[in-house]
Amino acid sequence: MTDINELVSEPGERHIVYGGTRTGKSSFMDWDMRYMQEHRPDGMQLVADTKPRFRAETIPYGPGNKWRKSAAKEGIYEHWAAGPIVPNSCLIDMRGTTPPFRGMWNAEDRPGEIAIMQGDEAADWRLMVALMHHFVARKVKRERRLIVDEGLDFYQRNTLGIDSKKDPILRTARAGGERDIGLLLGAHRPHGIPPLLNTLSSRVSLFHLRLERDMRYLYEMGIPESEGSPQGDYVFQQYKVAPGGTVEGPWVVRFRYPQSYLAQLSST
């Protein structure tokens, strides 16, 4: 039996998670985030949630976003379908008068807190790009990680970014490892993701793909051509780039989630 610590992202890793709708991709990313939160609580995690899917536990208020109050009690998610709450997470106000990141990631008062950006409009996504760029560019001597649940929302059909001047996702993949900045990116399919992003990844977790022909994009990054996408609920294959550049794997895994977590998931 494989333990979760062998499957989740290590500091500075570029981890891409592919899988079609309802295959378990987002749930795996959810637990990857929780693992870092528990085991590396000094790390700074920023989530770009375009669906949106992840329910934040709190929202900030007060001078400099100093305090927190319940997002549920404020009715933030009252029109959403059922879904799990990300523990110790805060929904940042991307358009507030206070700088969005002010008061976030206070390791002394709220160790492991996860900051979540949410919005389902194209204008929201462009603002997220600007904030991700700021997050990646700042000089901080702490582990950071950028988490993107629906990676294709940030790229056009020609695989160029939605902002012609900024691509913080690709920037993180190219140079983040040297600065202890990791990337956890999810997408329904590899088609449309910049080929360079696939090439720069250090770990790939592959759930079932609706279109088997999408596998050819993964063959180009070193996954053996004999492999197809996995079958079964919450089953995935993981590949890891070893020192020296060879691709190791696959490890075939079926995740077993607590029933308390499964009961929170939406049926759609």
Residue 5 is assigned to a structural domain of this protein: no
Residue 37 is assigned to a structural domain of this protein: yes
Q: What is the pLDDT of residue 229?
A: 84
Residue 267 is assigned to a structural domain of this protein: no
> Which of these, 21, 29, 239, lies nearest to 146 by C-alpha position?
29
Q: Which residues lie below 8 Å from residue 30, measured CB to CB, with a gap of 6+?
A: 54, 84, 86
Q: Is 124 a residue whose pLDDT tops 90?
A: yes
Percent of the chain residues past pLDDT 90, beyond the cut:
63
Could you give the number of structural domains in the chain? Answer: 1
Q: What is the pLDDT of residue 268?
A: 58
22 or 91, greater pLDDT = 91
Work out the number of other CB atoms within 10 angstroms of the CB of residue 121. Answer: 9
Residue 191 is assigned to a structural domain of this protein: yes
Average pLDDT over the chain reads 91
Q: What is the pLDDT of residue 236?
A: 92
Neighbour-count burial of 61, counting CB atoms closer than 10 A to its CB (0-12 exposed, 13-18 middle, 19+ buried): middle
The answer to whether 235 touches 205, Cβ cutoff 8 Å, is no
Residue 2 is assigned to a structural domain of this protein: no
Alpha-carbon distance of 162 to 145, in angstroms, equals: 21
Q: How many residues does the chain have?
A: 268
Average pLDDT over residues 63-83: 90
> Which of these, 98, 71, 109, 100, lies nearest to 87 by C-alpha position?
71
Q: 212 pLDDT band (50/70/90 cuts)?
A: confident
pTM, whole model, 2 decimals?
0.94
Q: Is the peptide bond before 52 cis (omega within 30 degrees of 0)?
A: yes
Q: What is the pLDDT of residues 147-162, one digit of tens each?
A: 999 999 999 988 999 9
Residue 236 is assigned to a structural domain of this protein: yes
Q: 36 pLDDT band (50/70/90 cuts)?
A: very high
CATH number of the domain where residue 235 is located: 3.40.50.300
Structural domain of 92? 11-262
Average pLDDT over residues 7-23: 91
Q: What is the pLDDT of residues 215-246, one digit of tens each?
A: 888 887 778 777 778 887 788 999 998 888 88
245-to-92, 95, 223, 260 alpha-carbon distances in Å = 38, 42, 12, 40
Percent of the chain residues past pLDDT 70, beyond the cut:
98
Q: What is the pLDDT of residue 267?
A: 64
Residue 1 is assigned to a structural domain of this protein: no
Backbone angles phi, psi at 188, to 5 degrees: -70, -30
Q: Is 130 a residue whose pLDDT tops 80?
A: yes
